[in-house]
């Protein structure tokens, strides 16, 4: 049967919802496959590329989306689904290649990233065959059919990786991540020097008593207005394709942490902290407890590789370096690398993950960093 690939139209919404149900059941955590209003919005959004594969001109046999952030010049590949009856003809690869070509052809995107489930190795191979590079592993990042981990991949426009800004040194716990990137993606970090960051171990230094209660503000419109007031310069609020819907703050107002809470995926993204990330270093436990009460048990944040102070603050608070995003941000004619740090409240179980050979070095790096954070040798020996 002939399969054609064309842009999604509003009349496809019902068929696409059925497709995502048949592929994922009731557990799909992304609104583009379940929420008709959000699907209609994305289909008509000029910054979204949505392609549908049609078998014999009928109902959708496959679907894929790239959402783009024009300010950040980044796209995200998501919603890749192929009906079980059409999985043997390379349709997933055709959809991936076509939607990425459409996005890059606009000239408004420097890179496209994808977070890929690791319940099977197949999706990892699909994105790699179409130019994506493995960048890391995000344990316990999403709730789909139970708690699952994701692998991070990215594909770049021509010439982007050649214009990366160099970083002279990083906190030592970041070094295994750089080694994994060199091994899997051929991105050079040989000149980067690991340095000891004070207080980066969970048990290092004297204990700091923390009794501060944490409050959460979830009035979306207020959160957005307040966020823009405190961060009027886009340079201070770089977290592409994420927008805050909650503020976490102690009773004394010492800081305001802006977060995107996703109760369906049971995850939280810390987008920005006012006045600076290190201000919340010793209040991470009550903050994590407050996030957990919302139903999220995975928290991630994004920091420049060059931000040694910010990285050290989160490392000291029990966050683990999980992924690296080289050349993520364009400033002028140069590109800057970023690090994804994550923390999870649930036990991590890798027994059911299908980590491909290209992602394996990131699993090794994560385990090494997690062990250094939560099982310091001096604690184990004593």
- If you average pLDDT over residues 38-51, what whole number do you get? 97
Residue 2 has pLDDT above 50, yes or no: yes
Interval 309-331: pLDDT, tens: 889 888 988 899 999 999 999 99
| Cβ neighbours of 131 (radius 10 Å) | 15
- If you average pLDDT over residues 80-88, what whole number do you get? 88
Per the model's pLDDT, the better-predicted residue between 285 and 28 turns out to be 285
Per the model's pLDDT, the better-predicted residue between 172 and 376 turns out to be 172
Q: Are 121 and 143 in contact (CB under 8 A)?
A: no
What is the distance in angstroms between the CA of the first residue and the CA of the last residue of the chain? Answer: 67
What pLDDT does 378 receive? 55
How many Cα atoms sit within 13 Å of 227 on the Cβ side? 28
What pLDDT does 209 receive? 44
Q: pLDDT category, 203, cuts 50, 70, 90?
A: very low
Output the CA torsion sign for 290, 292, 295, 300.
Answer: positive
Residue 372 has pLDDT above 80, yes or no: yes
How many Cα atoms sit within 13 Å of 52 on the Cβ side? 24
- If you average pLDDT over residues 75-103, what whole number do you get? 92
What pLDDT does 206 receive? 42
- If you average pLDDT over residues 358-380, what whole number do you get? 84
State what percent of residues in the chain have pLDDT above 90: 64
What pLDDT does 199 receive? 53
- If you average pLDDT over residues 113-140, what whole number do you get? 93
Q: pLDDT category, 381, cuts 50, 70, 90?
A: very low
What pLDDT does 197 receive? 66
Residue 96 has pLDDT above 50, yes or no: yes
Contacts of 248 (CB under 8 A, 6+ apart): 214, 215, 216, 256, 257, 259, 287, 290, 291
What pLDDT does 64 receive? 97
Going by C-alpha positions, the residue among 122, 127, 149 that lies closest to residue 265 is 149
Confidence (pTM)? 0.91
pLDDT, the chain, mean: 89
Q: Please state, in angstroms and rounded to a whole number, the distance separating the CA atoms of residues 79 and 20.
A: 8
Residue 346 has pLDDT above 90, yes or no: no
Is 366 in a helix, a strand, or coil? Answer: helix
What pLDDT does 376 receive? 63
Residue 373 has pLDDT above 90, yes or no: no
Beta-bridge partner residues of 259 = 246, 270
Give, as one character, the DSSP assignment of residue 157. Answer: -
Residue 202 has pLDDT above 50, yes or no: no
Residue 274 has pLDDT above 60, yes or no: yes
What pLDDT does 176 receive? 94
Q: Please state, in angstroms and rounded to a whole number, the distance separating the CA atoms of residues 108 and 164.
A: 18
Long-range contacts for 89-94 (Cβ within 8 Å, ≥24 apart)?
89/3, 91/3, 91/53, 91/61, 91/62, 92/62, 92/122, 92/123, 92/126, 93/126, 93/129, 93/130, 94/5, 94/53
- If you average pLDDT over residues 20-29, what whole number do you get? 82
Helix H or strand E encompassing 65: strand 60-69
Tokens linked to 264: 């369906």
Poorest-confidence range of 237-241, 255-259, 277-281? 277-281
Give, as one character, the DSSP assignment of residue 25. Answer: G
Q: Are 301 and 267 in contact (CB under 8 A)?
A: no
What pLDDT does 158 receive? 96
Residue 67 has pLDDT above 60, yes or no: yes
Poorest-confidence range of 264-268, 301-305, 363-367? 264-268
Q: pLDDT category, 226, cuts 50, 70, 90?
A: very high
Which of the residue ranges 116-125, 192-201, 209-218 has the most confident prediction, judged by mean pLDDT?
116-125
State what percent of residues in the chain have pLDDT above 70: 93
Task: Report residue 35: phi and psi, to 5°.
Answer: -105, 105
Q: pLDDT category, 47, cuts 50, 70, 90?
A: very high
- If you average pLDDT over residues 150-158, what whole number do you get? 96
Crossing angle of the two packed helices 91-105 and 122-129, in degrees rounded to 10: 40
């Amino acid at each position: 049967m002939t399969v054609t690939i064309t842009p999604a139209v509003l009349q496809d919404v019902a068929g696409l919802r059925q497709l995502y149900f048949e592929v994922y059941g009731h557990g799909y955590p992304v609104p583009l496959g379940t929420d008709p209003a959000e699907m209609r919005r994305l289909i008509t959004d000029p910054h979204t590329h949505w392609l549908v594969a049609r078998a014999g001109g009928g109902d959708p046999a496959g679907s894929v989306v790239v959402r783009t952030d024009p300010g950040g010049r980044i796209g995200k590949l998501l919603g890749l689904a192929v009906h079980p009856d059409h999985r043997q003809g390379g349709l997933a690869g055709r959809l991936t290649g076509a939607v990425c070509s459409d996005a890059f052809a606009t000239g408004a995107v420097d890179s496209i990233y994808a977070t890929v489930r690791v319940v099977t190795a197949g999706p990892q191979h699909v994105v790699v065959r179409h130019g994506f590079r493995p960048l890391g592993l995000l344990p316990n990042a999403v709730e789909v059919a139970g708690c699952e981990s994701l692998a991070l991949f990215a594909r770049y426009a021509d010439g982007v990786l050649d214009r990366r800004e160099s970083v002279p040194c990083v906190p030592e716990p970041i070094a295994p991540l750089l080694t994994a990137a060199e091994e899997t993606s051929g991105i050079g970090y040989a000149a980067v020097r690991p340095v000891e960051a004070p207080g980066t171990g969970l048990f290092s230094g004297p204990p700091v008593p923390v009794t501060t209660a944490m409050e959460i503000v979830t009035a979306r419109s207020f959160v957005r207005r307040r966020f823009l007031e405190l961060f009027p310069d886009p340079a201070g609020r770089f977290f592409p394709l994420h927008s805050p819907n909650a503020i976490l703050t102690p009773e004394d107002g010492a800081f305001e942490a802006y977060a995107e809470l996703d109760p369906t995926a049971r995850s939280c993204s810390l987008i920005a902290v006012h006045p600076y990330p290190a201000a919340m270093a010793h209040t991470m436990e009550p903050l994590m407890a407050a996030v957990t009460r919302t139903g999220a048990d995975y928290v991630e944040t994004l920091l420049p590789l060059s931000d040694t102070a910010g990285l050290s603050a989160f490392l000291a608070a029990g966050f683990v370096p999980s992924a690296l995003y080289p050349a993520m941000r364009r400033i002028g004619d140069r590109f800057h690398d970023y690090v994804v740090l994550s923390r999870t409240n649930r036990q991590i179980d890798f027994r059911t993950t299908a980590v491909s050979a290209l992602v394996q070095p990131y699993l090794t790096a994560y385990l090494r960093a997690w062990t250094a954070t939560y099982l310091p040798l001096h604690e184990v020996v004593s």
